[in-house]
Amino acid sequence: QQKVQQSPESLIVPEGGMASLNCTSSDRNVDYFWWYRQHSGKSPKMLMSIFSNGEKEEGRFTVHLNKASLHTSLHIRDSQPSDSALYLCAASGAGNTGKLIFGLGTTLQVQP
């Protein structure tokens, strides 16, 4: 069973719309969550990280974390065609933040 589960598997939003992506860990030993974005044929690039309960905003991107349920979500407002990519959620433990457990990803397509 996948320890990090993402939903939806794929998502289509219109340009200017809001995209909401979800991620839950079934491993209670995780403490940190990461969101990576991977454009087709490119390497994953870290988008945002969140370690504490609550919300974190950077530009058009907002992440939420509920540590009790080990659920995080990524919201992209005013989506642009350049946001079209595979979005990967990863989790890691506090003692080893670099050992990332990835989900299968959500493929986002922003339609002009």
Residue ranges that bind another protein, judged by CB under 8 A? 4, 32, 34, 42-46, 49, 86, 88, 90, 97-105, 107
Toward another protein, which CB reaches closer, 11 or 86? 86
Tell the smallest beta-carbon distance from residue 95 to another protein (Å).
Answer: 11
Smallest distance from another protein to CB 14, Å: 23
23 versus 76: smaller Cβ distance to another protein: 23
Measured from the CB of residue 38, what is the shortest distance to another protein in angstroms?
Answer: 9
Three-state SS at 15: coil
- DSSP characters over 33-97: EEEEEE-TTS--EEEEEE-SSEEEEETTEEEEEETTTTEEEEEESS--GGG-EEEEEEEEETTEE
